[in-house]
C-alpha cells in the first residue's frame, strides 16, 4: 500500500496523543508516589516544574539549532523516549537507590519526548500537501485534548476495576501508544519543511508580527493552564466532591470541551474565518474567567471552567495556523519559538494563579479574576494583527 499525506497526518495524531500522555499521566499518581515511596508532596510537586522546564529547554534547543532536529529521525526518537519514560515508571523507582531519582529520570525522559513532539509534529503536519490547513491544524491539536480526557477517564476506570496498586501495569499499557507512533514515523512520508524565517517580508515587519504571535501563544498557554491545572482543586474545594469526581468535572471535562472546539472549527473552517473564530473564542474565554470568579453558586463557577476549555481550544492551533499563513518560511525554528512562548505561558499561568490563591488564603476565585488578563490580551492582539475593519466584513 502506498502511503500518503493522510497517513502522515494520522501518525501526527498519535504524536499528540503521546504528548498528552507525557504531561497528564504522572500527575494522576502523585499521591500514590507519596504513599508508596515515602516522598514528600513538596518534592513530588517539583516534578511538575521539572517536566515543564525540560520541555522549555527542548523548545529553546530547537529554536537555536533547527537543522539538528531532522523531522523523521527526531519524531521516532521522541516516541521511543516516551516509551522508555512511561515504562520506566514501573521499575526505575524500585531498582535505583533513590525512588525519587527514578521518578525524576522518568519525568525528564518523557518530557524530552513530549517536547520534541510539540516542536516537530505541527510543522510536519503543516508541510503535508493538503487543503484546509487551519482545519487540519485544529483537528490535529484536538487529539491532545482527547488524549488528556482519555488518560484521566481510562486511568480512573483501570484503577477502579484493577485497583491503583497495579498502576505499573497501566504505565506499560499506555506505552503502546508512543510505540505505535515510533513505528508509524519509520514508514510515513515526511514532506519538506521551509526553514527561512522572514524571507517573504521585510525583517522589521516580520519581527513585529512574530512578537505579537509569540505574545499570543504565551497568553494562550497561560489562559489554558491557569484554569485546567486548578479546575480539579476548584471542584473539590468549591463543591466538596471526591478527587475522582473532581478530576472528571475539572481537567477531564475541560479537555473534552477543548477538543470539541477544535473539531468544530475543523468541520466549519470553510464557513468562518479563523481570525473571527479566535476573537469570538477569546471573548468567550474572558467571560468564562469572569463567570468562574464572580458567580456565587459553585456549580455556575464550575460551568465557567468548562466553558474556558471550549474557548481556549482554537488558541494554540489557531496561532500556529496564523503564523504558518503569514510567515510560510518560518519552518521548525518558528514553531519552536512559538512553542517556547506557549510553554512559558503554561508554566507562568498556573504558577501565578497558585501564588495569588495562596496569598489570598486559598481564594481561587481571585486567581481566576486576575487571570482574565490573558484572554483580554488575546482579544487586543487579534484586533491589532487584523485591524477592526477585518471583523466588520461578512463571514
pLDDT at 167: 94
Break the chain into its structural domains and give their ranges.
1-193, 194-395
CATH topology of domain 1-193: Growth Hormone; Chain: A; (1.20.1250)
Please tell me the distance from the alpha carbon of residue 240 to that of residue 222, in angstroms, as a whole number: 26
Domain spanning 194-395 has what CATH number?
1.20.1250.20
Which residues are CB-neighbours of 122 under 8 A, at least 6 positions away?
Answer: 137, 140, 141, 317, 320, 335, 339
C-alpha distances in Å from residue 38, one per residue of 19, 30, 107, 351 = 28, 11, 18, 25
Closest of 314, 274, 331 to residue 123, by C-alpha: 331
Q: Computed from CA positions of residues 65, 68, 72, 75, in that sequence, does the dihedral angle turn out positive or negative?
A: negative
Please tell me the distance from the alpha carbon of residue 336 to that of residue 122, in angstroms, as a whole number: 10
Please tell me the distance from the alpha carbon of residue 351 to that of residue 311, in angstroms, as a whole number: 21
The two domains 1-193 and 194-395 share their CATH topology (first three levels equal): yes
pLDDT at 306: 83
Please tell me the distance from the alpha carbon of residue 62 to that of residue 66, in angstroms, as a whole number: 5
Indicate the angle between helix axes 99-127 and 30-37, nearest 10 degrees: 160
List the pLDDT tens digit at each of the 395 positions of the chain: 688 999 999 999 999 999 999 988 888 888 788 889 988 867 887 887 788 889 889 988 988 887 788 899 999 999 999 999 999 999 999 999 999 999 999 999 999 999 999 999 999 998 999 888 888 999 999 999 899 889 988 998 898 899 989 999 999 999 999 999 999 999 999 998 766 554 544 455 567 888 999 999 999 999 988 888 777 777 766 666 666 676 676 777 888 899 999 999 998 888 888 888 999 999 999 999 999 888 877 778 778 888 898 999 999 999 988 888 888 877 888 888 998 999 899 888 888 888 888 888 877 888 889 999 999 999 999 998 887 665 555 44
pLDDT at 296: 75
Which residues are CB-neighbours of 242 under 8 A, at least 6 positions away?
Answer: 236
φ/ψ (deg, to 5) at 99: -65, -35
- The string of DSSP letters for 114-163 reads HHHHHHHHHHHHHHSS-S-HHHHHHHHHHHHHHHHHHHHHHHHHHHHHH-
CB contact at 8 A, 155 and 170: yes
Q: Which residue reads 500514590 in cell numbers? A: 32
Compute the radius of gyration of the chain from its Cα atoms. Answer: 20
Closest of 109, 140, 153 to residue 16, by C-alpha: 140
Q: What are the pLDDT digits (tens) for 39-56?
A: 886 788 788 778 888 988
* Alpha carbon distance, N-terminus to C-terminus of the chain: 41
pLDDT at 373: 95
- Write out the three cell numbers for 13: 495524531
Q: Computed from CA positions of residues 22, 375, 351, 340, in that sequence, does the dihedral angle turn out positive or negative?
A: positive
pLDDT at 395: 43
pLDDT at 230: 78
3-state secondary structure of 284: helix
pLDDT at 188: 96
Query: In three state form, how does the secondary structure of 54-111 look?
Result: HHHHHHHHHHHCHHHCCHHHHHHHHHHHHHHHHHHHHHHHHHCCCHHHHHHHHHHHHH
Please tell me the distance from the alpha carbon of residue 91 to that of residue 83, in angstroms, as a whole number: 13
CB contact at 8 A, 115 and 52: no
| 248 alpha carbon, distance to own chain's centre | 18
CB contact at 8 A, 354 and 230: yes
pLDDT at 178: 97
Closest of 33, 143, 19, 7 to residue 81, by C-alpha: 19
Amino acid at each position: 500500500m502506498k502511503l500518503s499525506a493522510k497517513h502522515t497526518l494520522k501518525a501526527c495524531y498519535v504524536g499528540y496523543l503521546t504528548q498528552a500522555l507525557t504531561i497528564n499521566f504522572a500527575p494522576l499518581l502523585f499521591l500514590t508516589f507519596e504513599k508508596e515511596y515515602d516522598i514528600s508532596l513538596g518534592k513530588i510537586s517539583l516534578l511538575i516544574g521539572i517536566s515543564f522546564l525540560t520541555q522549555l529547554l527542548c523548545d529553546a534547543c530547537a529554536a537555536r539549532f533547527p537543522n539538528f532536529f531532522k523531522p523523521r529521525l527526531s519524531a521516532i526518537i521522541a516516541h521511543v523516549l516516551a516509551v522508555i519514560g512511561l515504562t520506566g515508571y514501573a521499575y526505575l523507582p524500585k531498582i535505583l537507590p533513590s525512588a525519587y531519582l527514578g521518578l525524576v529520570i522518568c519525568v525528564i525522559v518523557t518530557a524530552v519526548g513530549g517536547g520534541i513532539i510539540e516542536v516537530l509534529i505541527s510543522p510536519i503536519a503543516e508541510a503535508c500537501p493538503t487543503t484546509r490547513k487551519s482545519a487540519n491544524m485544529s483537528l490535529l491539536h484536538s487529539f491532545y485534548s482527547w488524549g488528556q480526557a482519555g488518560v484521566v477517564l481510562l486511568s480512573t476506570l483501570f484503577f477502579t476495576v484493577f485497583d491503583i496498586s497495579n498502576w505499573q501495569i497501566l504505565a506499560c499499557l499506555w506505552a503502546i501508544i508512543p510505540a505505535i507512533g515510533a513505528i508509524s514515523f519509520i514508514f510515513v512520508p515526511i514532506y519538506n519543511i521551509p526553514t527561512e524565517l522572514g524571507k517573504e517580508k521585510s525583517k522589521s515587519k516580520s519581527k513585529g508580527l512574530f512578537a505579537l504571535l509569540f505574545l499570543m501563544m504565551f497568553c494562550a498557554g497561560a489562559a489554558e493552564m491557569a484554569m485546567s491545572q486548578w479546575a480539579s482543586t476548584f471542584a473539590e474545594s468549591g463543591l466538596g466532591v471526591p478527587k475522582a469526581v473532581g478530576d472528571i468535572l475539572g481537567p477531564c471535562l475541560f479537555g473534552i470541551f477543548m477538543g470539541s472546539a477544535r473539531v468544530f472549527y475543523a468541520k466549519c473552517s470553510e464557513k468562518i474565518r479563523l481570525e473571527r473564530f479566535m476573537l469570538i473564542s477569546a471573548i468567550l474565554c474572558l467571560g468564562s474567567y469572569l463567570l468562574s470568579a464572580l458567580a456565587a453558586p459553585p456549580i455556575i463557577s464550575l460551568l465557567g471552567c468548562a466553558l474556558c476549555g471550549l474557548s481556549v481550544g482554537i488558541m494554540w492551533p489557531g496561532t500556529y495556523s496564523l503564523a504558518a499563513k503569514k510567515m510560510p518560511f518560518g519552518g521548525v525554528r518558528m514553531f519552536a519559538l512559538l512553542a517556547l512562548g506557549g510553554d512559558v505561558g503554561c508554566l507562568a499561568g498556573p504558577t501565578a494563579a497558585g501564588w495569588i490563591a495562596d496569598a489570598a488564603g486559598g481564594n481561587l476565585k481571585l486567581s481566576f479574576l486576575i487571570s482574565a488578563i490573558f484572554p483580554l490580551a488575546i482579544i487586543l492582539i487579534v484586533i491589532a494583527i487584523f485591524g477592526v475593519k477585518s471583523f466588520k466584513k461578512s463571514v
